[in-house]
């Protein structure tokens, strides 16, 4: 066997593989002998079928199969040994007058080569790193939410503004029959609200779904309809009232503080608000970091220039999926994925240049931190190390979880690299200001 490579240019090459009879004949003979031992052909005892008949019936298929196996193994080994960084997979070139009846075969493959380039983390204009904080209005709303959550429900006979009305939404044609507890404040428009204010248990209220709530997603929750249906739903529904309750807010006292944060951890309303701000800062910190990742990614794509083997990649995209694409479809798919491919290459270069790696011990510690955070959300503040180790071991025994966590950890390492190397400008904003500035 002989393998040679012709470099067309810096991004494209053709690999030529010559296979002779000596390379494959032994493998083919072995397979045919095994076929002969197990062949069941009428008129012959098992294991006594003439080899000529076996070759006539199976020879060509076995030859093609063994040569293709040999070809793939040789090509993969060559790419590894030559340390060729290829994009996509090698594409076989069509060859005229190819004949499986010959003893020697020549195969050619097109290669798309990864470009050589450098990545700089230096930027003249600073990138904004948002430090997102909870504004006073958000803190006050969160205090009220906690008071409602831990408050009492007081049964009432007649519904008033601010009450909760429990009942059943119904529309037989649409298959809607959903029990719901509906805060009157959620209802949109005075006309609709007036139908609920003054209602008593047993009353039947008829309303239109269109414009019933500020957010159509509330229809999903209260009427239990699917997402796509909720956005276009425009029907009348009957709401049969079963009970009315007033939400009495919990007192902002030590009993509530201890329920929320543990005995003696918070002792005043001021400390409660500080705690809310602290928890919000942790949550918003992730959003600020994610935006930083996005902005640095855009900067790197914009500033890191290199060519790609575009024609090769379009040809590869044509045949890479389950269904073969047309040239136009492949071109469109390439244009959609080019930006992502460019950043994959940039990211790979950064990881290599700065020797970033995910070690198993790092991954295990990262997994335990995530588990600890999730347990804290359910009130388990101090789990034992053995429990964390056992859960982490179960998670890390699954390949999909290892892949997901490894990607998250590498993103974290890249984020730390950006914070150290990139020219950043910290900007403190409330969450509302952040949304307005970034998304609007």
Measured CA to CA, the distance from residue 127 to residue 298 in angstroms comes to: 11
Overall residue count recorded for the chain in this entry? 440
Q: Between helices 399-421 and 327-353, what is the axis angle to 10°?
A: 70
Domain 2-113, second-level architecture: 2-Layer Sandwich (3.30)
Pairing of strands 12-19, 105-113: antiparallel
241 contacts 156 by C-beta, under 8 angstroms:
no
Give the closest residue to 305 by CA, choosing from 342, 349, 352, 335: 342
pLDDT value at residue 377: 73
pLDDT value at residue 97: 85
**Straight-line distance from the first to the last Cα atom of the chain, in angstroms, rounded to the nearest whole number:** 62
pLDDT digits (tens, 9 = 90+) for 309-330: 999 999 999 998 889 999 999 9
Measured CA to CA, the distance from residue 151 to residue 157 in angstroms comes to: 19
Burial 352-371 (b: 16+ CB within 10 A, else e): eeeeeebeeeebbebbbeeb
Q: Give the residue extent of every domain in the chain.
A: 2-113, 152-248, 276-439
Domain 152-248, second-level architecture: Roll (3.10)
Tell me how far the alpha carbon of residue 181 is from its chain's centroid: 34
Give the closest residue to 196 by CA, choosing from 159, 164, 162: 159
Pick the CATH number of 276-439 from 1.10.3120, 1.10.1060, 1.10.20, 1.10.10: 1.10.3120
pLDDT value at residue 379: 67
Q: Dump the DSSP string for 112-161.
A: EEPPP-------SSPEEEEEEE--HHHHHHHHHHHHHHTSEEEEESS--T
Q: Where are the alpha helices (DSSP H) in 304-359?
A: 310-320, 327-353
Q: pLDDT of the chain along its 440 residues, tens only?
A: 999 999 999 999 999 999 999 999 999 999 998 888 877 777 777 777 888 888 888 899 999 999 999 999 999 999 999 999 999 999 999 888 899 999 999 999 999 999 999 999 999 999 999 999 999 999 999 999 899 889 999 999 999 998 999 999 999 999 999 999 999 999 999 999 999 999 999 999 999 999 999 888 889 999 998 888 888 889 999 999 999 999 899 999 999 999 888 889 899 999 999 999 998 998 899 999 999 999 999 999 999 999 999 999 999 999 988 899 999 999 999 999 999 999 999 999 999 999 999 999 999 999 999 999 888 777 676 789 999 999 999 999 999 999 999 999 999 999 999 999 999 999 999 999 999 999 87
Measured CA to CA, the distance from residue 344 to residue 407 in angstroms comes to: 12
């Amino acid at each position: 066997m002989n393998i040679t490579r012709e470099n067309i240019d810096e991004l494209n090459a053709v690999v030529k593989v010559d296979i002779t009879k000596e390379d494959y004949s032994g493998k083919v003979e072995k397979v045919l002998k095994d076929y002969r031992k197990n062949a069941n052909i009428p008129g012959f005892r098992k294991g006594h079928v003439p080899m000529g008949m076996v070759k006539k019936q199976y020879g060509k298929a076995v030859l093609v199969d063994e040569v293709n196996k040999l070809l793939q193994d040789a090509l993969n080994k060559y790419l590894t040994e030559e340390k060729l960084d290829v994009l996509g997979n090698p594409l076989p070139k069509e060859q005229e007058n190819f004949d499986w009846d010959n003893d020697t075969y020549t195969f050619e493959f097109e290669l798309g080569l990864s470009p050589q380039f450098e990545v700089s983390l230096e930027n003249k204009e600073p990138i904004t790193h948002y430090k997102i904080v909870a504004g006073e209005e958000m803190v006050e709303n969160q205090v009220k939410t906690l008071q409602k959550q831990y408050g009492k429900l007081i049964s009432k006979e007649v519904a008033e503004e601010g009450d909760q009305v429990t009942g059943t939404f119904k529309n037989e044609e649409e298959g809607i029959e959903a029990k719901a507890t509906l805060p009157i404040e959620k209802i949109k428009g005075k006309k609709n609200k007036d139908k609920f204010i003054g209602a008593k248990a047993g009353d039947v209220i008829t309303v239109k779904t269109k414009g019933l709530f500020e957010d159509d997603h509330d229809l999903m929750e209260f009427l239990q309809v699917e997402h796509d249906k909720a956005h276009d739903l425009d029907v009348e529904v009957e709401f049969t009232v079963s009970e009315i309750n007033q939400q009495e807010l919990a007192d902002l006292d030590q009993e509530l503080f201890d329920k929320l944060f543990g005995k003696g951890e918070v002792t005043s309303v001021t400390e409660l608000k500080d705690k809310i701000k602290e928890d919000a800062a942790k949550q918003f910190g992730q959003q600020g970091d994610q935006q930083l990742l996005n902005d640095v990614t855009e900067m790197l794509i914009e500033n890191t220039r290199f060519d790609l083997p575009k024609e090769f990649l379009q040809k590869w995209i044509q045949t890479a999926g389950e269904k073969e694409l047309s040239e136009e479809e492949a071109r469109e798919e390439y244009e959609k994925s080019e930006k992502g491919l460019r950043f994959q290459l940039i990211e790979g270069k950064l990881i290599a240049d700065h020797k970033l790696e995910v070690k198993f011990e790092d991954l295990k510690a990262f997994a335990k931190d995530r588990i600890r955070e999730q347990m804290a959300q359910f009130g388990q503040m101090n789990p034992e190390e053995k429990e964390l180790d056992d859960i982490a071991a179960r998670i890390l025994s699954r390949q999909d979880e290892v892949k997901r966590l490894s990607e998250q950890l590498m993103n974290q390492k890249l984020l730390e690299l950006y914070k150290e190397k990139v020219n950043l400008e910290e900007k403190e904003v409330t969450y509302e200001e952040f949304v307005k500035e970034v998304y609007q």
